[in-house]
Amino acid sequence: MKMDLVSGYKGVVGLVFGNESSSNEDSYVERLLGRISNGKLAEDRRNAIIELQAIVAESQAAQLAFGAMGFSVMLSVLREERDDVEMVRGSLEILLSALTPINHAKGSSNEVQPALMNTDLLSREAESISLLLSLLAEDDFYVRYYTLQLLTSLLTNSPQRLQEAILIIPRGITRLMDMLMDREVIRNEALLLLTHLTREAEEIQKIVVFEGAFEKIFSIIKEEGGSDGGVVVQDCLELLNNLLCNNASNQVLLRETIGLDSLISILKLKGSSYTFSQQKTINLLSALETIKLLIKGGSEADPGRDLNKQTNKKTLVQKKVLDHLLMLGVESPWASVAVRCAALRCIADLIAGDSKNRDILSSKFLGEEPQVEPALNSILRIILRTSSMQEFMAADFVFESFCEKNADGQTMLASTLIPQPYSMNHAPLEEDINMSFGSMLLHGLTLGENDGDLEVCGRAASVLCHVLKDNSHCKERVLRIEIEAPIPSLGASEPLLHRMMIYLALASSMKSKEGRLRSSDNSYLQVMILKLLVTWLADCPSAVHCFLDARPHLTYLLELVSNLSETVCIRGLAAVVLGECVIYNKSTDSAKDAFAIVDMMSQKIGLSSYFLNFDEMHKKFIFANEESSPNNSKSFTRSSAASMEDIVDLDNEDLSEQKNVDLPFLSSIMDSCFVNLVKGLEEAIREQIVEVYSHPKIKVAVVPAELEQKNGESDGEYMKRLKAFLEKQCSEIKDLLVRNATLAEDLVKTGGGGNFQSEQRVSGGSGRGQINALNRDLQEASQRLEMLKAEKAKVESEAKKYQNLAEKMEADLRGLSDAYNSLEQSNIQLEKEVKTLKSGGASTFPDVEAIKAEAREEAQKESEGELNDLLVCLGQEQSKVDRLTARLLELGEDVDKLLEGIGDDVGNVEDDDYEEDND
């Protein structure tokens, strides 16, 4: 196998670099390897090693040539020349150069990389890993240093093979762990190697922890200065995160052996004037990643994950981690946006599903006298004031976690929602320091009507959505809140729900022709307000009644659903709000009941177009990936940390690759719980519309003349005629109801209108939306027709193929039958010949002597040919001997003396062979 790899490798050398250009490198590398392996003088061998290292470090062709024939030579030196430190150093340097890519080489992306191929070859060498690990016990500093670099190169390019080999080697990981206590340079190399080694390798993680990794990691972090340290602290935290990620047992060991104090101390800010360098930011982000892993508790498949998760949370809170997280995420103005966001997300994870931790957070106060305020107020201020979209989403995630299945907390927050005078509502945001939580939230909800204030309104709407979610009491309480009109003398106060509809319409009207807001491209505002409306109206008939009190609300929603210039997400959520006005409608007013709304939907936009909005919304990534969490973040490594140090706001990126594409951060605003709510509402909306549509209201009709009693008609005949008439009418009504229900169900299932819907749209006056819907239906039908044609062609092609195959098989069968018949005839003929031979017919026996003579003649011809070939070969060899004899004479050698005994030995061997043959 190894020879096949090497021979294939030599072929690659010629293929990539050309035989002519690589021949010089091959021969030079081969000569140097020969001097190293066969040289008599130690100094000459060392010089050869120096020359070989230089050429391998500079030339890709030399790297390829060395990989084809040099590894066995170098490993032999490492194995047999341990006493010669210079030879061992040089051999390690050559191996390291062979495994290091040459950066200045410019080639195509698909060009063969010699360093990668050499890594693969070296990792396949028998006992190469164990030999390198044994070198870690050597006293020489550079031997240990180069060995660690070699192992790191092997692990980077062939991780699985090296991980398997190290697990098999006795005390292999122990030797690596010992390097953490070595000199600083070697310790840092060992850290990098262990970081690569423990990535997604659970068995190695357990051994490393057993060897005391936690104590050594935190000892190095403390020695380097904690979060103020350099890149070594980052490497230590990356190794720590590898050991804790999805590993509940290691988390338990950390918690119960050395505790979590050392980890929490990394988050503690020291001094009065905090400085945040780029490296300190990365170190803090890595430590916050560790906190997040502990809060997660382990892999989802681990049965003890939930218990470990709760224990970790309890321990972290007992160690006052909330104070440090609030300092980093809320109070520290010097921290970068990335650190603040990570700290806020850790706070959200810490309180999620934990009532005690929620109470602790709600009781926290921040700031210094006299400007002390609750922590929740400070987090709300971040939501309303921050210019970073990422920071808004992280702070909003805190309130989402706080309010999720926390009725008491929601009621506590809703109880502070007290309207302020109009003059206070329009005060600057900077004057909200003394406001309660509810007053500050209402201040943000009603701040103003320009684009900047609308953005604050949208963010406040997101917080209010969390307060109202799944809480009927809070919905009713907030429903009673009325906002003072801008000029009280010109108008009465209005419900907060109505004000939200005004802002929704304003956000849409303030878009430019390109469909964007004039200022900061905040087209997500409509989505957040619609999310509030969907949450508020869900299972709340009082909110639906309040919403329908203003008839323009319904008209605007119908226009929004049919407006193709809006995004799919906006149209879909507007359709959900309309559907809630149907399923939660308890109105007795014929102009605002469920039937009236369904009738308006049918007349204005058509039910097929209405349901099409649901289908289009489900195709978007937000609904397709409902498991997405706003708490997703990548693990920190040296390569990724620099790029992740600053979280760039999505506002500054090009977010619309094509028209009507939803913004990427909407997946954070529309969390999985809300997506599931929308899906459940959609199913209920479809069923309710089918019910309303198939059972229309019975209108009063004029009594037909047939029901009046005729002159001279007896009472008995009149009753019989009435009975027959009623039975006929009942039968016709039943048939109509069945047909209506069937058509409505087909409409919901297929999303198409059919003839019935087309007639209704035409009779109701088809508008632009209906025409567009018909065009979409036509396009879908055309696409289905094309698909059916393609399937038909495919089926016909397969049928033809199988028909040809059957014909071929039939022909083969006929051929086999003919062959069988032929064999039968041949067999009969042979049997006849055998019978003839048995009967003694001499004429049928072959001439044996003639056959023997012919065979002897052919054998003699063959032997004569072989003898001639042998004589030619002997002649060629004799010419070579003559040339060699002449050359030896020129060099002054005695040829006769050199040839003494050679013939005798050959003769003796031949005699022995002859005797063996005779025997």
> 682: closest CA among 616, 602, 595?
616
| Per-chain mean pLDDT for the chain | 79
State how far the Cα of 757 lies from the Cα of 747, in Å rounded to an integer. Answer: 8
Is 164 a residue whose pLDDT tops 70? yes
Is 683 a residue whose pLDDT tops 50? yes
pLDDT given for residue 329 in this prediction? 93
State how far the Cα of 677 lies from the Cα of 469, in Å rounded to an integer. Answer: 10
CA dihedral 78, 83, 87, 93 (to 10 degrees): 60
State how far the Cα of 231 lies from the Cα of 216, in Å rounded to an integer. Answer: 16
Highest mean pLDDT among 53-62, 467-476, 648-657: 467-476
pLDDT level of residue 810 (50, 70, 90 thresholds): confident
pLDDT level of residue 875 (50, 70, 90 thresholds): confident
Is 701 a residue whose pLDDT tops 90? no
Determine the residue type at 205. Answer: Q
Is 477 a residue whose pLDDT tops 60? yes
pLDDT given for residue 709 in this prediction? 65
pLDDT given for residue 578 in this prediction? 95
pLDDT given for residue 558 in this prediction? 93
Region 200-206: what's the mean pLDDT? Answer: 88
Q: What percent of the chain has pLDDT over 90?
A: 36
pTM of the model: 0.72
pLDDT tens for each residue of 244-278: 998 899 999 999 999 999 999 999 887 555 678 89
Is 798 a residue whose pLDDT tops 80? no
* DSSP H helical ranges for 549-606: 551-562, 568-583, 594-604
The string over 886-913, giving b where at least 16 C-beta atoms fall within 10 Å of a residue's C-beta and e elsewhere, is: eeeeeeeeeeeeeeeeeeeeeeeeeeee
pLDDT given for residue 777 in this prediction? 63
pLDDT given for residue 665 in this prediction? 63
pLDDT tens for each residue of 517-532: 443 344 678 899 999 9
| Burial (Cβ within 10 Å: 0-12, 13-18, ≥19) of residue 616 | middle
pLDDT given for residue 786 in this prediction? 74
Determine the residue type at 68. Answer: A
Total Cβ atoms within 10 A of residue 679: 15
* Per-residue tokens: 421: 């005078």
pLDDT given for residue 754 in this prediction? 41
State how far the Cα of 151 lies from the Cα of 162, in Å rounded to an integer. Answer: 8
Region 827-848: what's the mean pLDDT? Answer: 68
pLDDT given for residue 574 in this prediction? 94
pLDDT level of residue 483 (50, 70, 90 thresholds): confident
DSSP structural state of residue 288:
H
Region 387-398: what's the mean pLDDT? Answer: 93
| Three-class secondary structure of residue 778 per DSSP | helix
pLDDT level of residue 735 (50, 70, 90 thresholds): low
pLDDT tens for each residue of 171-180: 889 999 999 9
pLDDT given for residue 756 in this prediction? 39
State how far the Cα of 461 lies from the Cα of 500, in Å rounded to an integer. Answer: 8
State how far the Cα of 847 lies from the Cα of 852, in Å rounded to an integer. Answer: 9
Which residues, in sequence order, are bridge partners of residue 495? 482
Region 467-492: what's the mean pLDDT? Answer: 81
CA distances from 69 to 37, 66, 88, 626, 833 (A): 12, 5, 18, 55, 67
Region 527-549: what's the mean pLDDT? Answer: 94
> 400: closest CA among 325, 326, 345, 335?
345
pLDDT tens for each residue of 273-311: 567 889 999 999 999 999 999 999 988 888 888 899 999
Phi, psi of 482 (to 5 degrees): -120, 135
Is 68 a residue whose pLDDT tops 60? yes
State how far the Cα of 583 lies from the Cα of 586, in Å rounded to an integer. Answer: 9
State how far the Cα of 85 lies from the Cα of 92, in Å rounded to an integer. Answer: 11
pLDDT tens for each residue of 851-872: 767 777 777 777 777 777 777 7
pLDDT given for residue 764 in this prediction? 40
DSSP string covering 659-710: TTPPPTTHHHHS-HHHHHHHHHHHHHHHHHHHHHHHSPPPPP-PPPGGGSPP
pLDDT tens for each residue of 312-356: 999 999 999 999 999 999 998 888 999 999 999 999 999 999 999
Lowest mean pLDDT among 221-230, 548-557, 623-632: 623-632
Percent helix, strand and coil across the chain, each rounded to 5?
75, 0, 25
> 542: closest CA among 497, 493, 504?
497
Is 906 a residue whose pLDDT tops 70? no
Region 464-470: what's the mean pLDDT? Answer: 95
Lowest mean pLDDT among 499-508, 527-536, 761-770, 869-878: 761-770
pLDDT given for residue 691 in this prediction? 83
> 95: closest CA among 138, 37, 153?
153
Under the phi-then-psi rule, with left for phi > 0, alpha for psi from -120 to 50, and beta for the rest, what region is 696?
beta
pLDDT given for residue 755 in this prediction? 40
Region 707-722: what's the mean pLDDT? Answer: 71
